[in-house]
């Protein structure tokens, strides 16, 4: 059951409130005289909220260029099917890619958390990967890199760095090469690399 929210003398579910807000809150903003669209962030937030409401909150959800990536551990095929149908219900997503793993032991989860910290730190410290949108997940010793880079050399460097971390068994490449990323970041100088640890 979804929580009820009191809105202007009427009650609605939290989901209804989110849909209402999405319809009335501007999806773009003006920064420094430049129109910046945050549709990926909006879609990512909406997807994460729907996954929680759909009973699969343990999945990580990332959206890059309208492409959604669902990553995590699930107990059953039923949960996987529910996650995929939930993602398909989010209007505005162009494509959904899923990478699901079986449940882990506490020891495996602890090892994955340690590897995630190490891989994320090494990527964040690499100068040639500054100002790129790169997200990292580690599951079962597999490092999953999601994001976009300006050129192939950045992509190759990110994959190599992740693969060289002791304990990483495999690297999954969900990195798109997008030269347009450079012009978007050149308008916002001095921003640190965005390496998300989820």
The pLDDT tens digits of the residues spanning 111-145 come to 999 999 999 999 999 999 988 889 999 999 999 99
Instruction: State the average pLDDT over residues 188-194.
Output: 39
pLDDT at position 198, please?
44
Task: Tell me the two tokens of residue 62.
Answer: 């990332």
The pLDDT tens digits of the residues spanning 19-34 come to 656 665 655 554 544 4
pLDDT at position 194, please?
43
Q: pLDDT higher for 99 or 25?
A: 99
Instruction: State the average pLDDT over residues 70-97.
Output: 94
Q: pLDDT higher for 17 or 30?
A: 17
Instruction: State the average pLDDT over residues 155-177.
Output: 96
Nearest alpha-carbon partner for 168 in 121, 128, 115, 132: 115
Mean pLDDT of the chain: 81
pLDDT at position 185, please?
46
Q: Do residues 141 and 112 lie in contact, with contact meaning Cβ atoms separated by under 8 Å?
A: yes
Residue where the block lists tokens 């890619």: 97
Instruction: State the average pLDDT over residues 2-31.
Output: 55
Q: Do residues 177 and 153 lie in contact, with contact meaning Cβ atoms separated by under 8 Å?
A: no
Q: Please, what are the domains in the chain? A: 4-100 (3.30.1340.30), 106-197 (3.30.70)
pLDDT at position 182, please?
52
Residue where the block lists tokens 């971390």: 165
Beta-carbon contacts of 108 under 8 Å, excluding residues fewer than 6 positions away, are: 140
User: Residue 17: pLDDT band by 50, 70, 90 thresholds?
Assistant: low
pLDDT at position 117, please?
97
pLDDT at position 34, please?
43
Total-model pTM: 0.72
């Amino acid at each position: 059951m979804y929580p009820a929210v009191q809105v202007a003398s009427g009650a609605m579910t939290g989901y209804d409130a989110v849909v209402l807000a999405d319809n009335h809150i501007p999806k773009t903003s003006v920064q420094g005289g430049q129109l910046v669209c945050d549709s990926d962030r909006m879609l990512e937030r909406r997807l994460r909220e729907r996954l929680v409401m759909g009973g699969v909150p343990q999945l990580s959800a990332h959206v890059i260029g309208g492409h959604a990536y669902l990553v995590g551990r699930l107990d059953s095929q039923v949960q996987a099917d529910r996650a995929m149908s939930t993602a398909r219900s989010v209007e505005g997503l162009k494509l959904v890619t899923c990478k699901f793993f079986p449940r882990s032991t506490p020891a495996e989860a602890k090892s994955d958390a340690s590897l995630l910290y190490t891989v994320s730190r090494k990527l964040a410290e690499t100068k040639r990967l500054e100002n790129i949108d790169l997200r990292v997940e580690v599951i079962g010793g597999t490092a999953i890199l999601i994001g976009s880079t300006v050129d192939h050399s950045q992509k190759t460097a990110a994959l190599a760095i992740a693969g060289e971390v002791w304990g990483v068994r495999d690297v999954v490449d969900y990195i798109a090469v997008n030269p347009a990323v450079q012009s978007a970041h050149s308008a916002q100088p001095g921003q640190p690399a965005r390496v998300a640890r989820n």
